[in-house]
Structure 1
Amino acid sequence: MGRVRSRKFCCCLPVRFGVFCSSLIGIVAGGFFSIVLWIEVHKISTGQILLSAPTNIVIWIAAFSFTFMLFDALLGMIGCLFRFRRFVNGYAASLVFDTLFNISIGSFFLFQLFHQDGADEVTKCVDGTTGDVGDVKNWACQKGFDVLRIVVVVLFVILWLFEIAGCFIVYDYVGQLRDEQEAEQALSMPQQQIAVSAPYPATTYRTPTYGGPGDMEAGKSPYTFTAPANAYGSI
């Protein structure tokens, strides 16, 4: 393999290590959240929990998304460990698609989260407490719900930033693999050119000339019937 300078991210870390970490995080996160979400999908399908139609749709789509992330990360891990450029290319393209998809789904989820007052959640939190204690608990539950929404926003933003950074790192590693392939081809190019452009052994062809008694002295084969002894009319 040709010698190519390893590309870095965060000033000193090789991009191959970044792809390994990105795919490892994708395997862990994708596996965990896909299991959790598919359990929720099962509960929704069997009627164990009742949610609004938009929330059900989000859960279904998120379950497929994290399952796709799991298999995509496995593809990236194999490509990173064995330097399979096609696998890393597929992982890079899938990671971009998955990032855009997660941003879309997360934005829709945040929209739903901030456009509902959380009355049901607050009521469950208060749990029938009345009087002054109920008012205090209601205030605490309402404030807790507001803080929860802010925390969810921060977590989503951090996740999106990590995914965007991962896209740049993976594509940088794709460029490094391309440079290594070109360097390897450049090293093998001179040998191929020598094998193709090597001159064939020179072969000298002599065109025989005929006609005259001087041909014998010149070391050339004369035409038989031009000799004086074989001439027409000779005895």
Structure 2
Amino acid sequence: MSKHFCFCIPVRFGVFLFSFISFALSALSAALGWFLLHLIDTNQLSRLETNVKDDDKAAFEASLHKYKWAVIVGSIIFTFVALVAFFGFVGSIIRNRRMVKAYSVLTILSFFLGSFASGFVLYATWSHKPFCVTVDNVKSCTESNLSTGGKIGFTVGIVFQWLIQLYIVTIIRRYYQQLEEEREYRNDFRLNPTTGGTYEAKEGLLATQGAYPYSDNQHRFGSNA
């Protein structure tokens, strides 16, 4: 039978939805990363520095030039994530086990990397240490201006986002396990995909309840049976 999440939603629809969202956000992030790299190479960072103090502007530009490699790596990673998320999206439509597996593995990996990044962001938020870079023997620093309440709200948001990502990882893994169980069933019993009478979960993205097979006049039991 089909696995579900949130009590009644098929995990296949969850993978379909989350892979589409992941693809859209990753593709957007990759595009922004490559655009930022273009601005760095062409010295056009001033296009992003509206309403920024001169000291913060200097620190911002110096940071991006010094850590240009990080922008490149981030852009490559988001591009790769977008491609694999696209595979997961297609895999959920055509029920391809290998595509869904690749998407599941990448989601687990990105979850652990994201957890590490979230921990670093929280440390930077609460450590009260400014971020400084030195370019041409000139040191420029910038630091967070969040209040204690703002930091608490930011921390709650990070934790909530982490829990949602963990749940998404679980849903994708469930769908991959469902496809594995269906494959094992077909191998064990030499059956092709059939209708709802076998184990095979052949529902659509949003499963609907079919008619009860013994509810028509030809199959009902009554006084004339």
TM exceeds 0.5?
Answer: yes
Is 1:31 the equivalent of 2:27? yes
Partner in structure 1 of residue 63 of structure 2: 52
Partner in structure 1 of residue 77 of structure 2: 65
AA aligned to 2:169 is C
Quick one: percent identity of the two aligned structures? Answer: 26
- Alignment partner of 2:190: what SS? helix
Deviation at 1:142, TM superposition (A): 4.2
Is 1:94 the equivalent of 2:124? no
Bigger Rg, which one = 1
Deviation at 1:84, TM superposition (A): 0.7
- In 1, Cα distance between the equivalents of 2:70 and 2:124? 10
Deviation at 1:173, TM superposition (A): 0.7
Matches within 5 A, 1:88-167: 88-115=100-127, 116-117=129-130, 142=145, 152-167=154-169
Question: What is the aligned length?
Answer: 166
Structure 2 portions without partners, runs of 5+: 46-60, 132-139, 192-225
Q: Which is strand-richer, 1 or 2? A: 2
Distance verdict in 2 for CA 1:35–1:156, change over 3 Å: farther
Distance verdict in 2 for CA 1:143–1:180, change over 3 Å: closer
Whose RCO is larger (CA < 8 A, sep 6+)?
2
Q: Which moved more, 1:162-171 or 1:111-120?
A: 111-120
Partner in structure 2 of residue 225 of structure 1: none
- In 2, Cα distance between the equivalents of 1:151 and 1:187? 54
Structure 1 portions without partners, runs of 5+: 123-140, 190-235
Q: Which is helix-richer, 1 or 2? A: 1
Pick aligned residue for 1:178 from 180, 191, 213 = 180
AA aligned to 1:91 is Y
Deviation at 1:11, TM superposition (A): 1.2
AA aligned to 2:172 is V
- Alignment partner of 1:62: what SS? helix
- Alignment partner of 1:52: what SS? helix
- In 1, Cα distance between the equivalents of 2:96 and 2:119? 34
For normalisation by structure 1, the TM-score amounts to: 0.59
- In 2, Cα distance between the equivalents of 1:102 and 1:7? 27
Distance verdict in 2 for CA 1:22–1:60, change over 3 Å: same
AA aligned to 1:92 is S
Distance verdict in 2 for CA 1:185–1:142, change over 3 Å: closer
Distance verdict in 2 for CA 1:81–1:180, change over 3 Å: same
- In 2, Cα distance between the equivalents of 1:59 and 1:110? 21
Deviation at 1:171, TM superposition (A): 1.1
AA aligned to 1:75 is F
For normalisation by structure 2, the TM-score amounts to: 0.61
Partner in structure 1 of residue 93 of structure 2: 81
Deviation at 1:106, TM superposition (A): 3.5
Deviations 1:58-106 (A, max 9, x none): 5444323322221111010111111111111111111111221222234
Deviation at 1:24, TM superposition (A): 1.0
